[in-house]
Structure 1
Amino acid sequence: MNTSNATYRFINTTSFVMGNRKNAGKTTFMNWALNQIRKIESPAFATIGIDGESHDQIDGRDKPRIYTVPGDVLITSYPMLHKSSGQFRLEKVFPIKTPLGQLVVATTLRSGSIELVGPEYNEQLKELIDYIKKELKYRSIMIDGAASRLTPVSSINGSGFYYVLNIDRRNLRKALEQMQLLSVASGFKQVATNESALRIEGALTPTKISSLPKSCSTLIINDLTSVFLSFTQLKQLMKQVEVQVLNRLQLKSFVVILKDITQNEFIQLYQDKGIQTELIFNPYEHQ
């Protein structure tokens, strides 16, 4: 992707930033994306769950912070507004409590770094984002998602997600298989009227596949987050039945941060696997 032409991809859309593990680079990518939006208009942004720690509790490393500028709208907790170096106008206090305080929506008046706190449940996230869209009229929204948890994407109608992967030779094979799985599953057709189709409630697991009737030709699942299979298992299933989804989630791009692997080498491996999803390589290096 030509990063100089990236600005408009984030405008007038709600985008989640997901990752393959902790410290994958999600927050760094989100900061870059917010700066792209600011070239056109003020963004709104949030996180899923609690992000209000300056150091990672697992390895103690400094966590990248979100930087906010005047005009931005954000979701966090009331105590985090006071802790920030910025200044804010409180738009609304929501009856949603977290271990780091009650959730609020605020507009930035003076620039500063902010530690985000978000809702735990998808229904709460939808309520907050609906308020930002309908009442505050913000249309370009970024949400810092949890590592390896895609289900919140389905809670916001019409949203899509970027998937950030931190890849080295130790996890290269696993990462490519994960990319194959997500790329294929994001391409499932949205369900059409089909009386012979079989609806699978909840997760699509190897156990449920083993009990499929031989007469089944079309399988319906909720969305790609219902797939609890390896890529090999999914590929085998697709030889037997057509898989359709009730909700089609848009995988916008893979964002790849490479270590000890050259970009050309990775592109060749990616193409050899037949993956069609767009790739973004370390865009924030070219800000």
Structure 2
Amino acid sequence: MNTTNATYRFINNTSFVMGNRKNAGKTTFMNWALNQIRKVEAPAFATIGIDGESHDQIDGRDKPSIKTEPGDVFITSYPMLRKSSGLFKVEKAFQIKTPLGQLVVAKTLRSGTVELVGPEYNEQLKHLIDFIRQELNYRSIIIDGAASRLTPVSAIANSGFYYVVNIDRRNMKKALEQMQLLSVSAGFEMASQDDNAFVIEGALTPGKLSSIPRNCQTVVINDLTAIFLNYEQLQHLQKRVIIKVINRPILKGYVAVLKDIAQEAFSQLYMSKGIRTELILNPYVHQ
């Protein structure tokens, strides 16, 4: 992937960064993506809930800092601005309270590192991003998502997500099956009112498979985040019915961070699995 493609994939887009597990490399990818945007314009960025902290609040591991440069706009809280080494202008304070303080949208005046704090609810995130887009006119936005929560992607119009997968020899088989599952699910057609379908409320779990009528031809779920099946179970279901979705988050690509695995060998294996989603391998060498 050359620098031009790497840069312009993020311009004029809202992109979420998701991951297959904690410490998958989401924050590192986010910093890299922000640097790509800065080659063209100042980015805006945010997180879902609490992120960017120097130590993971669950297991205590060191985490990469979120770097901010003059002109950047981001969402955090007042206490986190005071902790930062940078200098900022508060564009607007919102009546959204978190355990780490009231949320604000700030603009960077002097570079530094910052701990991001975001809203808990999708509606709040949409409100904040609408302000950044409409009032501040920022168009290239990166949102650091939770490791397993994809639902916020549907809350932001015309957004998509990159899925960071940390892969070694021990988890490679499971990771590839997960990538197959997500790629297939991202391709489901949108449901329409004309569909004579069986609607599944909430999660599509193995336990709900027996509730699908035998003569059913179409099943409707909310979106790919509702699928709690493994790849084999999903394949078996697709032989019986057509699966459609109410919301369709856009899967923009997989970011595979490989450990002790040759890139060429993994690429060939990836293609052999029939996965057609764009694969971005170890992108940080393209800084």
Q: Tell me which residue corresponds to 2:51.
A: 51
Q: Tell me which residue corresponds to 1:222.
A: 222
Deviations, residues 165-195 of structure 1 (Å, cap 9, x unaligned) = 1100111111001100100000011123434
Is the partner of 1:166 in helix, strand or coil?
A: strand
User: Quick one: which amino acid aligns to residue 22 of structure 1?
Assistant: K
1:29 & 1:3 partners in 2: Cα distance? 15
Distance apart, 1:200 and its partner CA: 1.5
Deviations, residues 100-151 of structure 1 (Å, cap 9, x unaligned) = 1111001111111111111111111111111111111111110001112211
Measured on the aligned residues, the alpha-carbon RMSD in Å equals: 1.3
Contact map agreement 1:168 1:260 (CA 8 A) in 2: yes
- Which portions of structure 1, spanning 4 or more consecutive aligned residues, are displaced by more than 6 angstroms? none
Q: Tell me which residue corresponds to 2:168.
A: 168
Is the partner of 1:252 in helix, strand or coil?
A: strand
Is the partner of 2:146 in helix, strand or coil?
A: strand
Q: Tell me which residue corresponds to 1:278.
A: 278
1:241 & 1:118 partners in 2: Cα distance? 39
Distance apart, 1:78 and its partner CA: 0.5
User: Quick one: which amino acid aligns to residue 248 of structure 1?
Assistant: R
Contact map agreement 2:195 2:218 (CA 8 A) in 1: no
Distance apart, 1:2 and its partner CA: 3.2
Contact map agreement 2:76 2:103 (CA 8 A) in 1: yes
Contact map agreement 1:198 1:216 (CA 8 A) in 2: yes
1:3 & 1:24 partners in 2: Cα distance? 23
Q: Which shifted more, 201-210 or 167-176?
A: 201-210
Contact map agreement 2:52 2:63 (CA 8 A) in 1: no
1:51 & 1:25 partners in 2: Cα distance? 13
1:125 & 1:187 partners in 2: Cα distance? 25
Distance 1:255 1:3, change over 3 A: farther
Matches within 5 A, 1:7-156: 7-51=7-51, 53-156=53-156
2:152 & 2:195 partners in 1: Cα distance? 30
Matches within 5 A, 1:203-222: 203-222=203-222
Q: Which shifted more, 250-259 or 123-132?
A: 123-132
TM-score by length of 2: 0.96
2:203 & 2:58 partners in 1: Cα distance? 29
Distance apart, 1:75 and its partner CA: 0.1
1:277 & 1:130 partners in 2: Cα distance? 29
User: Quick one: which amino acid aligns to residue 90 of structure 1?
Assistant: V
Distance apart, 1:3 and its partner CA: 4.2
Name stretches of at least 5 consecutive residues in structure 2 with no aligned partner.
none
Distance apart, 1:53 and its partner CA: 2.6
User: Quick one: which amino acid aligns to residue 226 of structure 2?
Assistant: S
Name stretches of at least 5 consecutive residues in structure 1 with no aligned partner.
none
Instruction: Give the paired residue count.
Output: 287
Is the partner of 1:248 in helix, strand or coil?
A: coil
